[in-house]
Amino acid sequence: MGKYLARRILTTIPVLVGISFIVFALVSFAPGDSISLMLSNETVNVENVAKLKAELGLDRPWYVQYVSYMGKLVKGDMGRSVQFNRPVAEMIGEKIGNTFKLTIFSCFVSLCIAIPLGVLAAARRRSIFDYSATAIALVGVSMPSFYLGLLLILFFGLRLGWLPIRGLPTYDSTFLKQIRYLILPSITLGSSMAGILTRLTRATMIEALGQDFARTARAKGQSEMGVLFKHAFPNAFLPILTTFGMQFGSLLGGAVIIETIFSLPGLGMLAMNAVKFRDLPLIQGTVLVFAVCFVAVMLIVDILYVFIDPRIRYD
């Protein structure tokens, strides 16, 4: 078990190095005019471009730049935002909490839809549950999230006026109030994951229910609920967990869209602002943090494996 964990943790190192290099290359190998685009029209001249290049360290050879970039990065220094003249790390720190709230609540929403629906569909094949699960799954996967978001805003926010559609209340407001603001964004962000996981839960549960151990459990008089949740579900759960981890990346990517639509001040909106103003250090910082979050989630999922699946523990 220790060996597995150590190996798994070590394999993240080349990945993290690769990520840092790509993020670095985004800016370093960018075509020259991307620098002049960072300056306002009045201040674009050869002198100012050279000055900004020197400030960002872009006038040195790329390998020197990369070493210095990495050197700063391990100390937690991601440079300063050109647009706001503030440390990038500080700005990300302020916003990341909101993105966490959004993604965690979206995961919660999608698991709450996917697992019961998928299990029910597998248990009652060709019933109304099965068909509605398939339909919901297909719609969830095929619906562009920005479209769903706007439809929800239009009907539940504007026409019916049931739920807030913009922003987030302050950190000190009540939990329930915060949840109210998160309902529409989380349904929007979680819908695609819910679709994928519903299908997967259904498929893996059907497979598990067809195995010998399920028949044995039935033969020894286990109730149908017991067969479903004690015997079949634990076996179906591992692929669900894997897919959940892999889908987390698209959830983070989707956060950019959802935060823009619902004006949620999170990491995604920060990234969009950075991109709009071509604030290169801020672009680098946000892309890096998104990728590292995803790597961390994948790592956590793999570590959870060890505790859930004893077969890995004794390998």
Which residues form the interface with another protein (CB under 8 A)? 11, 14-15, 18-19, 22, 26-27, 30-31, 34, 138-139, 141-147, 150-151, 153-154, 158, 203, 206-207, 210, 246, 249-254, 256-257, 260-261, 268, 271-272, 275-276, 278, 280, 283, 286-287, 290-291, 294-295, 298
CB of 144 to another protein, least distance (A): 5
Nearest distance in Å: CB 58, another protein: 13
Query: For residue 195, which amino acid is it?
Result: G
The encoded tokens of residue 94 equal 């302020």
For another protein, which is the closer residue by CB, 177 or 215?
A: 215
Considering the complex, state which of residue 241 and residue 275 has its C-beta at the smaller distance from another protein.
275
- How far apart, in whole angstroms, are the C-alpha atoms of residue 135 and residue 221? 34
Helices (H), 223-279: 224-226, 233-261, 267-276
Report in angstroms how near the CB of residue 314 gets to another protein at its nearest: 25
Determine whether 133 is exposed, middle or buried from the number of CB atoms within 10 Å of its CB (0-12, 13-18, 19+).
buried
Measured from the CB atom, is 115 or 208 closer to another protein?
Answer: 208
30/44 with CB nearer another protein: 30
**Of 7 and 276, which CB lies nearer to another protein in the complex structure?**
276
Count, in order, helices (H) and strands (E) of the chain: 14, 0
Residues 6+ apart with CB under 8 A from 305: 238, 241, 312
Which 3 state secondary structure label does DSSP give 308?
Answer: helix
* C-alpha distances out from residue 168 to 78, 146, 217, 257, Å: 27, 18, 49, 16
As measured in angstroms, the least distance from the Cβ of 275 to another protein is: 4
Q: Least CB distance from residue 11 to another protein, whole Å? A: 8
- Residue whose CB is less far from another protein, 4 or 21: 21
Q: Give me the least distance between CB of 140 and another protein, in Å please.
A: 11
Q: Quick check: helix, strand or coil at residue 145?
A: helix
Min dist CB 312 to another protein, Å, is 19
Give the angle subtended at the CA of 37 by the CAs of 146 and 266, to the nearest 5°.
35
Is the Cβ of residue 165 or residue 217 nearer to another protein in the bound state? 165
Q: Shortest approach of another protein to residue 294 CB, angstroms?
A: 6
CA distance 157 to 241: 33
Q: Which of 109/283 has CB closer to another protein?
A: 283
What separation in angstroms does the CA of 250 have from each of 128, 165, 214, 222, 271?
30, 22, 34, 39, 15
- 3-state DSSP percent of the chain in helix, strand and coil, to 5: 80, 0, 20
In order of 212, 236, 245, the CA distances from 239 in angstroms are 19, 6, 10
